[in-house]
Amino acid sequence: MKWNVWGHPLKETEQFFQEGGFPRFRAKQLHDYLYKRYVYDFAQMTQFPAAMRDWLSENAVIEKPEVVRQQHSSNGDTIKLLLRLSDGSLIETVCMKHDYGNSICVSTQVGCAMGCIFCASTRKGMERNLTPGEMLAQIYAFRMLYQIPVHSIVLMGSGEPLQNYENVLQFMHLCHAPDGLNLSYRGMTLSTCGIAPAIYQLADEKIPITLAISLHAPNDEIRNRILPSSRKYPIQTLIDAARHYFNVTGRRVTFEYILIKGINAERTHAEELCRLVGDMSCHFNLIPINGTEHIQLYPPDHQAIERFSQILEKHGKSVTVRRQMGDEIQAACGQLKRRYLKDNS
């Protein structure tokens, strides 16, 4: 079976060349072709002797996902891509252009098992984990198509990253590698529904990424309605894990909170939330829910959002209200894939 050279740490590529009887330094040259010069045909790698190019063609492949659909928001601040993987699975990835640079939202699984009520990615459950190379290819798809520099990545696409722990960790190391994207760990945000034991494990990795926890509720009763998978880890267990993460890494934890009218966006919910987190150093990212075709959930009005935010601030919490990017291009998780499957059924 041919070895897929895409998406490996330099050490593994060096080993591949050595096992083929070639010097290690050829691995670095191959990485330059793949990740800096975007050459994806061994025959065009003219720095290599002809015999080596033939050997590569016989023993290796460059297998990356194919872009099957692109969508741009009208103001140009969001681009969404639908990618087809080698086994035919479809995944989504999004580029968001901010004042401070471009951020890529990366999917970590095909589908998702977490069951959040507002999310289209979870309708068919989790199909499989993505490999580090399949995650990396999402970033390179934007770089190649639009020559977009990448300043940060958020692991917030389809999937629960902490259920694909080892591959996600290797992907972040690949992004950080000097022969690859050379991204700072501080520019990486991992968003989780809250797999508490994996948060403790991540803290021990001692890499200064930002941990974002999808909290979405001030108590277990509401959280279980919004995020059915959360029953396994009660909300207090999660707060303890977040506190531990901060204590070990010194990195302030972000709590993501989707605001849904009539469910979790009242004044009393904001006050309960403040009691829950107490004096923990943390940041709240409030996200008015993104209305979609298939759910009957709506964002609160502007005044209610403002009131919620002010209560948190009054208790000394740092708060941002996320602007809704890309509504018209089905930028919320899983929607472009659903639309594509519908169009092609």
Active site residue 92: yes
Give the nearer residue to ligand SF4 in terms of CB position, either 159 or 299. 159
Residues 6+ positions from 239 with CB-CB distance below 8 Å:
276, 277, 280
Q: Which of 92, 134, 160, 256 is catalytic?
A: 92
Q: How near is the Cβ of 13 to ligand SF4 at its closest, in Å?
A: 31
CA 122, chain centre distance (Å): 15
Q: Which stretch binds ligand SF4 (CB under 6 A): 71-79, 153-161, 231-239, 299-307?
A: 153-161
Q: How near is the Cβ of 326 to ligand SF4 at its closest, in Å?
A: 15
The one-letter amino acid code at 165 reads Y
And the tokens for 85? 């993987």
Residue 223 to residues 195, 245, 263, Cα–Cα distance (Å): 14, 21, 10
Helix axes 196-205, 165-176, angle to 10 degrees: 30
Q: How near is the Cβ of 224 to ligand SF4 at its closest, in Å?
A: 14
104 part of the interface to ligand SF4, by CB under 6 A: no
116 part of the interface to ligand SF4, by CB under 6 A: yes
**DSSP three-state, residue 83:** strand
Q: Which of 71, 78, 103, 122 binds ligand SF4 (CB under 6 A)?
A: 122
Q: How near is the Cβ of 121 to ligand SF4 at its closest, in Å?
A: 4
Active site residue 119: no
119 part of the interface to ligand SF4, by CB under 6 A: yes
Q: Which helix (H) or strand (E) holds 26?
A: helix 25-35
Helix axes 235-249, 267-277, angle to 10 degrees: 50
Give the nearer residue to ligand SF4 in terms of CB position, either 5 or 112. 112
333 part of the interface to ligand SF4, by CB under 6 A: yes
Q: Which of 7, 65, 132, 159 binds ligand SF4 (CB under 6 A)?
A: 159
Checking DSSP bridges between strand 282-288 and strand 78-84, what pairing results, if any? unpaired
Region 187-216 residues binding ligand SF4, contact defined as CB under 6 A: 193
Q: How near is the Cβ of 193 to ligand SF4 at its closest, in Å?
A: 5
Dihedral of CA atoms 123, 128, 133, 136 in degrees, nearest 10, equals 20
Q: Which stretch binds ligand SF4 (CB under 6 A): 113-121, 205-213, 232-240, 313-321?
A: 113-121
Q: Alpha helix (H) ranges present in 129-280? A: 132-146, 165-176, 196-205, 220-226, 235-249, 267-277
Q: Which of 95, 112, 116, 333 is catalytic?
A: 333
Which residues would be at the binding site for ligand SF4 (CB under 6 A)? 112, 114-116, 119, 121-122, 158-160, 193, 333
- Active-site residues, by number, are 92, 333
